[in-house]
Amino acid sequence: MQVKYTKKGFFVNSQGNLSILLVATIILLFSGVFGINPKIVKASSTPCTGSNCVNLNSGTTYQTMIGWEATAQVGQNEFPTDYLAYKDQLFDNAVNDLGINSLRLEVYSGTENPTDYYTQYRTGVIDENQFYSSILYNIVNDNGDPNTINSSGFQFSYLDNQMDEIALPMKTLLEARGETLHINVNYTDFGSSAFEHKSNPSEYAEFVLATYQHMQSAYGIVPDTWEVILEPDTPSANWTPTQIGQAIKAAGDRLVSAGFTPHFIAPSVTNGLEVASTGQGGNDWATQINAVSGAMAYIDTISYHRFVILHQMILKRKASLLSLLVLAKKLLCLNTLPLILIFCREI
């Protein structure tokens, strides 16, 4: 596999930069894990004209990337023995070669449950299908009072696994480079249950606070950012923009009352065209969230997923999106390839 690029010629944009990173990701996977050694070829004088070329113009700047994020999964659940053989090399490549400096740690909605099903899964009491099919998003309320946390009603073993197995090793590697690890905790809810956080903003707020307090007591670390709900526009998640806004307002207020500083990310929809008034996609998530009084003040980053290609939106910035970005501060986008997710953080 080869990548060719020149210092002069066409232009550089986020798509071009991403192409380099994603190809580099493939190199990571197939050279670090499987022993293949592809080469990156840099042609400095003659613009590359092939269909697989990326030409850079260092005189033109578009977005400023402030970080690269990956999901905190390296096969530790599916291959609990095998992954031990490659994890150190993988972390080293991710930090020192790719430049990954942010992790998305997922906390599933069924974390609020009196039973620790993740530990049952990892110890063989239940199998993978049982864990992922019906248990993951089955929320059982800790008690009848959203203002009183019953700690035995929350099971953070999966979050702890991501911290222990991935975040802490990468944090150490980044600090050795003089950098810091950004921890983005992402609430996931791809299933329905009799009790729902999305229908009870004060209960969602309790869940967020319980997670912050657990991480603080267990690791002395709190989330740098909290991604409110992953892909709410999917049929299995099925959150509305108003529900997200109400959850943000309640959780933000609750965190502030407890002495934390909220930095929320939303709406994390699968179709970026629905983020703002683009005239496509049929929804207007960020604008409707903004309509909930007090919600936008807690949003640090507007997010979307690039399952729908957004060249026009990315390069030219729709005016409505621009106005929201002024209210928020950053943009988080997700790009996908089979096997791996890469996120870009930009100002």
Contact residues toward Ca ion (CB under 5 A) are 141-143, 145, 148, 203, 206
The least CB distance from residue 114 to Ca ion, in Å, is: 11
Identify which of residues 49 and 143 has a Cβ nearer to Ca ion in the complex: 143
3-class secondary-structure state, position 296: helix
> Following CA atoms 107, 108, 111, 112 in sequence, which dihedral angle do they give, to the nearest 10 degrees?
110
Identify which of residues 184 and 200 has a Cβ nearer to Ca ion in the complex: 200
Identify which of residues 127 and 145 has a Cβ nearer to Ca ion in the complex: 145
The least CB distance from residue 153 to Ca ion, in Å, is: 7
The least CB distance from residue 144 to Ca ion, in Å, is: 7
Query: Judging by beta carbons within 10 Å of its beta carbon (0-12, 13-18, 19+), is residue 163 exposed, middle or buried?
Result: buried
Tokens for 203, please give them: 């209960």
The least CB distance from residue 217 to Ca ion, in Å, is: 17
DSSP for 129-147 reads: HHIIIIITT----SSS-TT
* DSSP bridge partners of 249: none
Q: Which residue is nearest to Ca ion (CB)?
A: 142
Angle between helices 241-257 and 201-219 (to 10 degrees): 50
Amino acid (one-letter) located at 298? Y
Return the residue matching tokens 């690791």: 219
Buried/exposed 75-107: b ≥16 CB within 10 Å, e otherwise: ebbeeeeebeebbeebbebbbeebebbbbbbbb
Identify which of residues 89 and 147 has a Cβ nearer to Ca ion in the complex: 147
Tokens for 22, please give them: 């994603």
Q: Which residues contact 225 (CB under 8 A, 6 or more apart)?
A: 182, 183, 184, 185, 263, 264, 265, 300, 301
Identify which of residues 254 and 330 has a Cβ nearer to Ca ion in the complex: 254
The least CB distance from residue 252 to Ca ion, in Å, is: 17
Identify which of residues 101 and 109 has a Cβ nearer to Ca ion in the complex: 109
Identify which of residues 135 and 167 has a Cβ nearer to Ca ion in the complex: 135
Identify which of residues 5 and 187 has a Cβ nearer to Ca ion in the complex: 187
The least CB distance from residue 312 to Ca ion, in Å, is: 43
The least CB distance from residue 206 to Ca ion, in Å, is: 5
What is the length of the chain? 347
The least CB distance from residue 202 to Ca ion, in Å, is: 9
CA 77, CA 309: separation in Å to the nearest integer? Answer: 31
